[in-house]
Amino acid sequence: METSERQSRGLQLLREMLGPEAAEEVRARWRQLSPDFEQYVLEFLAGEIWSRPGLDRKSKSLVTIAALTALGRPQALELNIRMALRNGASEREIVETLLHIAPYAGFPACWEGLTVAHRVFAERDASSDERGSAP
């Protein structure tokens, strides 16, 4: 498969999972750190791995949340919790995923994951409240 095709597919997927505005913001941060990093994420991670058949996006999101929590990667975890919510995961499913990994990844990892998740939930609720109260 052509690089441009993978990159295009990865970009479309990122926009669907984050929303167009948030996707552009995260791409700009990646590009600022390293244009090559942005390219790798779009082509390989989004364009290949996330585009594979076999698991739906919600399931992939929950697996990714578990892995990032176990690895202690709060920045990537926050981004992936946001994507999971757009991919159809409920707050309860995300919390249950985090609780389920506690005996495997450790309770401190679970605690960190729950803290990140609740921050994302609160920000989403606040954003919904702001949109709901707009004239």
Q: Same structural domain for residues 82 and 59? A: yes
3-state helix, strand, coil in the chain (%, to 5): 85, 0, 15
Asked which of 20, 36, 52 is the last residue of a domain, the reply is 52
Q: Same structural domain for residues 83 and 19? A: no
Per-residue model confidence as pLDDT tens digits over 48-106: 999 999 999 999 999 999 999 999 999 999 999 999 999 999 999 999 999 999 999 99
How far, in Å, CA of 112 to CA of 16, rounded? 27
Q: Same structural domain for residues 38 and 70? A: no
Q: Same structural domain for residues 120 and 58? A: yes
Predicted model pTM: 0.88
Q: Same structural domain for residues 47 and 59? A: no
* Contacting residues for 87 by C-beta, under 8 A, at least 6 apart: 17, 56, 57, 58, 60, 61
pLDDT at 127: 78
The answer to whether the CB of 65 falls within 8 A of the CB of 106 is no
Q: Same structural domain for residues 21 and 83? A: no
Does residue 132 surpass a pLDDT of 70?
no
